[in-house]
Amino acid sequence: MFQPHSAEQLAALAVRAREQEVPLKVLGRGANVLVSDDGFDGVVVRLDHASFRRVERRGSQVDVGAGVDLMPFARACSNRGLSGLECMAGIPSTIGGAIRMNAGGRSGEFGSVVKNVRVLRPEGGTESWSKERCGFSYRHCELGDNIVLSAQLELVEDDPAKVRRAFEESFAQKRDSQPLGDRSAGCIFKNPVGRSAGALIDQAGLKGTQWGAARVSERHANFIVARRGATASDVLHLIDLIRERVRCAFSTELEVEVDIWRPVGVRR
């Protein structure tokens, strides 16, 4: 694991990893990642140094580093009457992770407030990508192997009391419908077009289904919650079981939303 102090240090590492064909992944808060029980043999980067956690506001525009925690940041913006991130309430992520996954829910997605993103190219050198070039779509963007360094966001100035209320309402909605207090990787599957993965898994009668110490949440069927001692293979087993049952019951193929990290073998 590598915790660079600067974009230059990160660039030197990325170039070296590329030359030696060592896989490199950036870990945000790990909230959407399932790491195999066999681990991941490559370099894992964490952007938690202060140089990746800068926040600078100019009116309704905010520059924010990739390593900044999404939830406290979204709450601080809302408290100051900067609207646009209320739908991020209850989403555990860093800014870098929220951009890569285009984090969001029914009331909005992170990509919609992005003006541009500063990235580190895998072969070194930085670039600024416009929102259009980032190509945000449902839980996806086109950044590929580029590493997010920071983003310029365009928010909307509004009444602080109103924005704060919207943030808290959004948070309350998630707390009511999702097992936020349990350990999980968030929604396991993407919603198939026009349908809800949670509703399909629920209708297939799978709530409460357990394998090892992993269990399909009783509160929201698209969450797999991990009790102490749960392994990644427990979760992977449930993922396979859910996909099979939903395929049989509804002829619908569920696509995994979480990012699964497996060993790929380090070639030198």
Residues that bind ligand EPU (CB under 6 A): 105-106, 174, 177, 186-187, 190-191, 196-199, 202, 220-222, 257
Cα 262 from Cα 64, distance rounded (Å): 30
Closest separation in Å from C-beta 205 to ligand EPU = 11
> CB-wise, 119 or 197, nearer to ligand EPU?
197
Say whether 183 sits in a helix, a strand or coil.
coil
> CB-wise, 80 or 219, nearer to ligand EPU?
219
Using alpha carbons only, what angle is made at residue 81 by residues 80 and 84, rounded to the nearest 5 degrees?
Answer: 115
> CB-wise, 10 or 200, nearer to ligand EPU?
200
Closest separation in Å from C-beta 266 to ligand EPU = 30
Closest separation in Å from C-beta 158 to ligand EPU = 21
- In angstroms, what CA-CA distances link 103 with 27, 45, 95, 250, 256? 15, 20, 9, 27, 15
Give residue number: closest CB to ligand EPU. 105
Cα 256 from Cα 142, distance rounded (Å): 18
Closest separation in Å from C-beta 212 to ligand EPU = 21
What are the DSSP E strand ranges found in 188-258?
Answer: 210-211, 214-216, 224-226
Pairing of strands 24-26, 43-45: parallel
> CB-wise, 7 or 221, nearer to ligand EPU?
221
